[in-house]
Structure 1
Amino acid sequence: MKNMTTLPVKLKALPTRLALLLCLGASLTASALAAPVKTPEAQARHAERDRAAQVQHTFDAEVDAFLTAYWQLLPEAASVAGRYEASAHLPAPTEARRQGLIRFAQQWLSRLQALPARLQLDEGQTGDLALLVNHLQNLRWSQERFRSEVWDPTGYNVADGFSDLLNKGDFTPAQRVQMIDRRLQQVPAFYRAALQQIKDPAAPLLKMAISQNKGGLELFSHDIADLLQRTDLEPSNRARVLQHRDTAVRAIQQFVTALEAIDARQTRDGSGRSFRIGREAYAQKFAYEIQATVDAPTLYQRALNEKARLQQAMSELADGLWPQLFPGEAPATNRLDKIARVIDKLAENHVSPAGYIDDIRAQLPALAAWVQSHDLLDLDPSKPLQVRETPAYMRGLAGASISAPGPLDPQGVTYYNVDPLDPAQTEKTESYLREYNHWALQVLSIHEAIPGHYVQLLHANKSPSKVKSLFGNGAMVEGWAVYSERMMMESGWGQVDGKPSPEMGLMYAKWNLRVVCNTLLDYSVHVLGMSEADALHLLEKEAFQSHTEATEKWHRVQVSSVQLTSYFAGFSEILALRDQLKAIQGPAFNLKAFHEEFLSYGSAPVAMVARQMLARAQGTSLPTSSR
């Protein structure tokens, strides 16, 4: 309308029809003058944008169709993503279900792998497709070949879904009761089918399944009962839900009794499958789960080399600390003994058992303030983080962990789980606290919380790629947490009066050595047949871990496989990527920008992120509609 002010006459003085014609003519003339003439290049760019938008729409629709079918078949995956109402469904682990999972994987592999033939995918979409294909291939292999449901009964535990329905999501108490009641009614069939699947279980996994299912009973005896008391229900409805709860509890108890009978029989006759998965399965599992640029044997060799380097650095730090810790005493001649003596002395500085969890809580504000003041990353204080005791049904794998909401629950609470210490086990508790001493406990919170898992998973949930958020790579997730420790040390965390602290330096090196030895332990045990005695020697004598930490790690390697390699695999590749980008960008390299861009790719494998970041840095990347 502003062009009308250039007319030489006042419109009000003209007849209405003429005024309208003049307005229209002026507008058309102005528009014609203002509209740029599209060059062939501009037309091509416009056509390319239209094509890319259409490809994006088609690709997104295919991903949505896959997720709808996937979550319908695997409600536990939907709940992890943040659709907690899916936990009301509890499919029984029957043979028919296993066959259905195999068919699903085969059908969707064919469908998704056909996409590039009809769509010109960009970098982001190609990465998403690769993640989905890898996930489906892993699903098919797991159901056809690995078959852990036969020898690993820890997968049969209904407590987690009940915990989601009790605590997560935006539901009224009445809605929670309704969904919990539906899940309760499916529990007996679930455990009946589970017992039919279990054949010749591995003893450590069998014992862990017994312990965790017993721990889960607390949810039924306390949490569900508390919810019913807080909900306005008709007495008859409350009685019905309680009846279903009692039936479910009996089914769990019967399952535990059956497992205990299997355990007793296997103990008597020495039967039971080995917990070691063997070379062939290990190689395949490593390829699917880690997705590194190297295979498992190569990573193992790298870890051996890094162990030697770290031990040399620790020896030099121990030399510097020895005179003040042991005045007048000559250093031990054996290098490993010398390091162990210094670490053992420093480990006396630890919190009390009663103050353990409180000390962890107190660390988080200081870590957040440090990250912000040193401009390492953007944080989001609106996303809650709560330190809590690890629920009983989750214990037995790691002493600390993070439980984060899925990307579909952006306002959900992230829990920093910490296993409670048993005051009755004074010797074990003291050993544990010496392991997580004044310095190591800080590194633990960096790893698990800020700027480690908690921060990375918040960024992942904001990724523009659903796939990279939902189908995250464990080596990237753990690798980032380990890298965040290095990031904090490099920025000066733990220094005293502005100077590097040799105590923190030694304890951080010890912590880093643990990451390296995780890889050595896992590969050595599952592929090379390492004995318990040799494993404890590696952990205690060469990695300087306390006896409690070493025995718990021996337990962990028996009840898991490959996962322990994810720390070193991801960490080493993130460091390599950072070094490459520094070499390319030179003085223009910005650490915070590196961190922010790296985390913007969700939880994609480091190798995939590296390809895209390096291409962008070199100016050779294609346009990406989603990272």
Structure 2
Amino acid sequence: MKRRQFAHVAAHIAALGAAGLVRPVFADDAGFDRQAEAFIEALWQLDPDAAIAAGRFEFAQRITLPSADQRARHRAFLKGWQARLGAVQEAGLSAGQQMDRAMLLAKIRGDLWRLDTLREWAWNPAEHNPAAPIDLALNTDWAPEQERVKALHERIRRLPAFYAAARASLSGVTREHTELALQQAPGVLAVLDDVESHAQELGLGSLMRPDLNAARQAVAGYQAHLKTLLPTARRPWRLGAALYEPKFAHDIQSAATGRQTYELALARREEVLASMHTQAAALWPGVIGPEAPPTDRFALIGRVIAKLSERHVKRERFVDEIRAQIPQLEAWVRDHDLLTQDAAKPLAVRETPAYQRGVAGASIDAPGPYRPQDRTFYNVTPLDDLSPEEAESTLREYNHWILQILNIHEAIPGHYTQLVYANRSPSKVKALFGSGSMVEGWAVYGERVMIESGYEASPEMTLMWGKWHLRSVTNTILDYSVHVLGMGEKDALDLLTRQAFQTEREAAEKWRRVQLTSVQLTSYFSGYSEIFALREQLKARPGFSLKAFHEKFLSYGSAPVRLIAAEMLKA
């Protein structure tokens, strides 16, 4: 994320750190909370795009150029604050402050590693996509519409420089990420069209049109440049063992390694499959009929799931059905006292913006902690552009039961609920710099909680939840197998379709996703495993309350599960 005022502090601390002059700092000496706030504000100054994502829209005029100079400034900033925060002694810090310090240092180490070792800014052209901050600043009600459009004028004026810096940064790109950037470019143009539409309504069209046209030309120039790179785009998209484990450590922040998590997923897979086999065998006579079931467990489970999957919403009702289910989930959580919800925090289901498409079919865009009152967007990619066969495949994947589980995961009590709680955290560090594994793990855990509470109780839902849970387990197996063990497309698709019962279209999209991302697919199972293990430990204690556990756990913002667990197990 990003901020303002303290750039001079960062430069000064960097110089002191380089000279070895940073002395140990104690909580009473400097005030850790003030230091954390100073870091955040300085970060926003360095990176206005992240400031906007956090809800600090006073940075809407400014843009971060993906240039070598900017990377040098970022590096100096991180090293300076690494020295400063590393000198703070934990003695004298509260438990919450110790957690914040650990999270800030982990963020700094991770950012430095991504900057200097992973270097995705050089080989992933899709990293350089300016659309999200523009869209967010334009369509969030943080100021009168005219003020919002005027603020974006200066940012749009700088887009030719942004794309020039992006082009200069690229070296040794992958074909897959280059194709993704080309796919998303029309979405950037759509955002610029949206700005122009607002400008025209306000009488600012003629003033902004030259800069909007220059920005469009810059997008076209970037597209043309990427097309010239495609014939020689030979960098492997696989991360490889040397990069995978450190990325896993930085991104997941688990107590386990990538390899250990992979092995845990293999064991969990067998547990889930054994349970699904029993459930499918019991359903077979009523679903399939008198035909003798096959002896192969994958064939048996797959046949039952395939037949049940014929029950799904109509294509044209896909997004509307998701929208209709949200109140039902809210009522269930409230009536079963699973946790307290905040009805004042709006959730809006919308079609995924074009510039975000190409990786996942559903996602959540939540407001930052500075503007928790703003809407959370539940993005759903509609099926309009699919052939009848592709649409049917998707609808079977997200059938009557699975669609409900998807909404539990993305919305209630999953991502939407967790991120509302995160924004309440008195610690901005815990809300801003959280662990993706905690966020995804909570959503997977939330699915289990709903099933345990009896939601849509039926043998069919139990089997379908098994399939969906197997999906998060398989994500980990797939990601590690592909990026570290070299699994090829044929084996990956077999793992996803025959062994995890996903439709061909869903499997093809997952194969594309694992080429475009790395480690993130492990966050679901990794986080879930740690959350569930923590619950089971605490459940053995007298007086355990499920609701109290949920609300206490969520009170830590989006901190890594291992840090939350260490704190909750102290009591």
Between structure 1 and structure 2, the one with the greater Rg is 1
Are residue 298 (structure 1) and residue 260 (structure 2) matched? Answer: yes
What residue in structure 2 maps to residue 566 of structure 1? 523
Equivalent of residue 285 in structure 1, options 247, 268, 274: 247
Preserved contact between residue 448 and residue 454 of structure 1 (Cα < 8 Å): yes
CA separation in 1, counterparts of 2:326 and 2:221? 42
Of residues 502, 505, 510 in structure 2, which corresponds to 1:545? Answer: 502
2:480 & 2:305 partners in 1: Cα distance? Answer: 27
1:237-256 superposed matches below 5 A: 238-256=205-223
- After TM superposition, the structure 1 = structure 2 runs for residues 510-525 of structure 1, keeping only pairs within 5 Å, are 510-525=467-482
Tell me the secondary structure at the aligned position of residue 89 of structure 2: helix
Which of 325, 344, 360 is matched with 2:287 structurally? 325
Q: Is 2:317 the counterpart of 1:345?
A: no
Following superposition, the deviation at residue 55 of structure 1 comes to 4.1
1:603 aligns with 2:561: no
1:229 partnered with 2:200: yes
Q: Would you say the 8 A contact 2:57–2:142 is kept in 1? A: no
Deviations 1:194-232 (A, max 9, x none): 1111112111111001111222211112x1122113325
Give per-residue Cα distances to partners, 1:525-554, cap 9 Å, x unaligned.
111111011100100010010000000000
Q: Distance in 1 between matches of 2:36 and 2:29?
A: 10
Give 1:175-574 correspondences, 5 Å limit: 175-221=147-193, 223-233=194-204, 238-263=205-230, 265-266=231-232, 271-422=233-384, 424-495=386-457, 501-574=458-531
Asked if 1:112 is matched to 2:85, the reply is yes
Q: Distance in 2 between matches of 1:452 and 1:56?
A: 41
C-alpha displacement at 1:91, in angstroms?
2.4
Contact 1:87/1:164 (8 A) holds in 2: no
1:224-247 CA-to-partner distances (Å, cap 9, x unmatched) read 1221133254xxxx4231110010
Confirm or deny: 8 A CA contact 1:174 1:232 kept in the other structure. no
CA separation in 2, counterparts of 1:448 and 1:217?
28
Deviations 1:131-160 (A, max 9, x none): 000100111111111111111111111111
State whether structure 2 residue 551 is matched by structure 1 residue 579: no
CA drift at 1:611: 0.6
User: Does 1:103 find its partner at 2:76?
Assistant: yes
Cα distance per residue 1:244-272 (max 9 Å; x no partner): 00100100111011112211x23xxxx51
Q: 1:56 offset after TM fit, Å?
A: 10
SS in 2 for 1:112: helix
Shift of 1:85: 3.0
Report deviation, 1:115: 1.4
Q: CA deviation at 1:413?
A: 0.4
**Which string of whole-angstrom CA distances, capped at 9 and with x for unpartnered residues, describes residues 422-446 of structure 1?**
3551111100000000000000000
Find the aligned partners of 1:453 and 1:424 in 2 and give their Cα distance. Answer: 27
1:424 to 1:125, Cα distance in 2 relative to 1, 3 A: closer
Asked whether the 8 Å contact 1:390–1:417 carries over to 2, the reply is: yes
SS at match of 1:386: strand
- Shift of residue 54 of structure 1? 7.4
Structure 2 partner of 1:81: 54
Q: Which residue of 1 aligns with 2:96?
A: 124
Contact kept in structure 2, 1:300 and 1:519, CA below 8 Å: yes
- Whole-Å separation in 1 of the counterparts to 2:60 and 2:138: 10
Deviations 1:330-366 (A, max 9, x none): 0012111011000000000000110101110111111
Q: Secondary structure in 1 aligned to 2:371?
A: coil
Q: What's the CA shift for 1:169?
A: 3.9
- Larger displacement relative to structure 2 (462-471 or 223-232): 223-232
Partners of 1:327 and 1:602 lie apart in 2 by 50
RMSD of aligned residue pairs (Cα, Å) = 1.4
Q: Which moved more, 1:95-104 or 1:510-519?
A: 95-104
SS at match of 2:378: strand
Displacement of 1:184 after TM fit? 0.8
Query: Residue 154 of structure 1: which of 96, 119, 126 is its match?
Result: 126
Contact 1:322 1:342 in 2 (8 A): yes
Supply the AA of the counterpart residue of 2:208: V
Is 1:72 the counterpart of 2:45? The answer is yes
CA distance in 2, matches of 1:138, 1:243: 40
Quote the offset at 1:57 in angstroms.
8.0
The answer for unaligned runs of 5 or more in structure 1 is: 1-52, 496-500, 617-627
Q: What displacement does 1:65 show? A: 1.0
Counterpart among 524, 534, 548 of residue 593 in structure 1:
548
CA distance in 2, matches of 1:459, 1:255: 40
Q: Distance in 2 between matches of 1:56 and 1:318?
A: 64
Between 1:174-183 and 1:554-563, the stretch displaced more is 174-183
Amino acid aligned to 2:49: E
Counterpart residue number, 1:163 = 135
Q: Report the Cα distance in structure 2 between the residues aligned to 1:74 and 1:283, rounded to whole angstroms.
A: 27
User: How far apart, in 2, do the equivalents of 1:558 and 1:305 lie?
Assistant: 25
Alignment check: 8 A CA contact 1:315 1:335 kept = yes
Between the aligned partners of 2:189 and 2:214, the Cα distance in structure 1 is: 12
C-alpha distance in 2 between matches for 1:594 and 1:535: 38
Letter in 2 for 1:245: L
1:368-400 deviation per Cα after TM superposition (whole angstroms, max 9, x unaligned):
000000000101111100000000000011110
Please report how far the alpha carbon of residue 96 of structure 1 lies from its aligned counterpart in structure 2 after TM superposition: 1.4
Aligned counterparts of 1:445 and 1:55: Cα–Cα separation in 2: 46
Are the equivalent residues in 2 in contact too, given 1:453–1:481 (CA < 8 A)? yes
Letter in 2 for 1:443: I
Give the aligned partner of residue 144 of structure 2: 172
Match of 2:3 in 1: none
Contact 1:173/1:230 (<8 A) preserved:
no
Q: Aligned partners of 1:517, 1:424: CA distance in 2, in Å?
A: 26
Structure 2: tracts of 5 or more residues without a match? 1-25
81-90 or 254-263: bigger deviation: 81-90
CA distance in 1, matches of 2:433, 2:132: 19
SS of the residue aligned with 2:349?
strand
Query: 2:7 is matched with which residue?
Result: none
2:311 aligned counterpart, secondary structure: coil
Q: Is the 8 A contact 1:468 1:604 kept in 2?
A: yes
- Residue identity matched to 2:317: G
Count of matched residue pairs: 546
Counterpart of 1:480 in structure 2: which amino acid?
W
Among 21, 27, 31, which residue is 1:58 paired with? 31
SS of residue matched to 1:88: coil
Deviations 1:301-349 (A, max 9, x none): 0101111111111110111110011222100121110110000000000
Matching residue's letter, 1:599: L
CA contact (8 A) 1:84 1:164 kept: no
Shift of 1:60: 1.5
| 8 Å contact from structure 1 (residues 82, 407) kept in 2 | yes
Q: Please tell me whether the aligned partners of residues 27 and 89 of structure 2 are also in contact (alpha carbons under 8 angstroms).
A: no
Contact 1:84 1:168 in 2 (8 A): no
